[in-house]
Amino acid sequence: MKVLGARTVDRRTSVGKALAEFRADLVASLGGQDAVTTQQQVIVDFVVKQKLILDSIDAWILSQPNLVNLRKRALLPVVRERQTLADGLARYLVQLGLERRVKAPLDLSTYLAAKGTGDADSSDATGRDDSLSRVSLEHSNTDSREPVPGD
């Protein structure tokens, strides 16, 4: 890989932090780092760079007193170029998919294995026995209400 040197965005700056947060949010919307394919990773990188460029152009455009060249009676060329970049960003986002994807929930055995507890051990990390807090199927299926006269 080629070292980019000064052409990279310093992640210690506010811009770098904002881009890193945007990237993390985008990856989370795609289902997390484990769910993102290599191809999607490349598109995510394009989207982040495109967003940086668009935000910079937007800041410059909004600081201009006029977006129309009065002599030529036409928009400044940068406005049209900005729209082209925005269209490209939209195409990248469509390729990634506009719907939020959630991670598949873990099944119980995987969750328990990850937590380091087994079915035989009913105490938590503090040593407290929480077996009384579990509801058995026998008690949850019975109707414990008193009969009401007239029912």
Condensed to tens digits (0 to 9), the pLDDT of residues 13-36 reads 888 888 889 899 888 888 888 888
**Residue 145 is assigned to a structural domain of this protein:** no
Domains contained in the chain, number: 1
Which distant-in-sequence residues (6+ apart) come within 8 Å of 61 by Cβ? 67, 76, 78, 79, 82
Indicate the residue type of 136. Answer: S
pTM of the prediction?
A: 0.59
**Residue 108 is assigned to a structural domain of this protein:** no
Query: Which domain does 69 fall in, by range?
Result: 8-96
- Pairwise CA distance, residues 93 & 97, whole Å: 6
User: pLDDT per residue over 117-135, tens digit each?
Assistant: 654 444 444 444 444 444 4
**Residue 124 is assigned to a structural domain of this protein:** no
Identify the band that residue 149 occupies on the pLDDT scale cut at 50, 70 and 90.
Answer: low
Q: What is the pLDDT of residue 116?
A: 78
In sequence order, the β-bridge partners of residue 74 are 69
Phi, psi of 2 (to 5 degrees): -85, 135
**Residue 75 is assigned to a structural domain of this protein:** yes
DSSP letter (8 states) at residue 100: -
Q: What is the pLDDT of residue 146?
A: 55
